[in-house]
């Protein structure tokens, strides 16, 4: 009411007083230093890496070794196809698995699938969630749920003048 102005800070009234004698030097020092701690460090200069390229010579083994143009020649291409098919057939006869196993045949799939199928029937989870939990695609899960057989390759076996289609 009498025209005085009071300055308050955190609920305390600040009393007017002269600045300490070192205030000017402290202010100058404060202006020269950043107000934040140095969090950023300049990265070290990176030397460019030079790659040394090596020319590798491929070793070609087999009856068509050294024939670089076998793909363009129909006779050599058929020979290559016959050799490949014969090699795959030998591997099958030796009991080797060619290609991937169907999902239903893989180890542990039935144990994982049974509780997920129950949850699907109760509509607790969606097909997308079930496929994600099983680690398979949505169409594969649909094929399994619909009970369709696994698509397999057809083979034509010729034996003593008879042809047999194996599915």
What letter does residue 65 receive in the DSSP assignment? T
Q: Please state, rounded to an integer, the average pLDDT across all residues of the chain.
A: 76
Report pLDDT digits (tens) over 81-122. Answer: 898 899 889 998 998 888 877 888 888 888 889 899 999 999
Facing residues of 13 across strands? 8
Query: How big is the chain, counted in residues?
Result: 167
| Per-residue b or e along 3-30, where b marks 16 or more CB atoms closer than 10 Å to that residue's CB | eeeeeeeeeeeeeeeeeeeeeeeeeeee
Distance CA 122, CA 5 (A): 75
Q: How confident is the model at residue 10 (pLDDT cuts 50, 70, 90)?
A: confident
Q: Give the predicted TM-score (pTM) of the model.
A: 0.39
Q: Hey, where are the domains in the chain?
A: 70-98, 100-159
Q: How confident is the model at residue 152 (pLDDT cuts 50, 70, 90)?
A: low
């Amino acid at each position: 009411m009498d025209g005085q102005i009071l300055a308050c800070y955190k609920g305390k009234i600040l009393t007017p007083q002269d600045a300490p004698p070192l205030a000017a030097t402290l202010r100058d020092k404060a202006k020269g230093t950043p107000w934040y701690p140095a969090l950023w460090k300049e990265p070290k200069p990176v030397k460019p890496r030079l790659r040394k390229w090596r020319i590798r010579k491929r070793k070609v083994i087999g009856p068509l070794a050294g024939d670089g143009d076998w793909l363009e020649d129909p006779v050599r291409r058929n020979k290559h196809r016959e050799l490949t098919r014969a090699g795959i057939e030998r591997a099958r006869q030796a009991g080797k698995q060619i290609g991937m196993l169907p999902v239903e045949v893989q180890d542990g799939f039935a144990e994982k699938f049974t509780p997920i199928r129950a949850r699907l029937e109760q509509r607790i989870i969606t097909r997308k969630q079930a496929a994600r939990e099983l680690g398979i695609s949505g169409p594969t899960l649909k094929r399994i749920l619909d009970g369709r057989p696994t698509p397999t390759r057809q083979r034509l076996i010729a034996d003593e003048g008879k042809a047999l289609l194996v599915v």
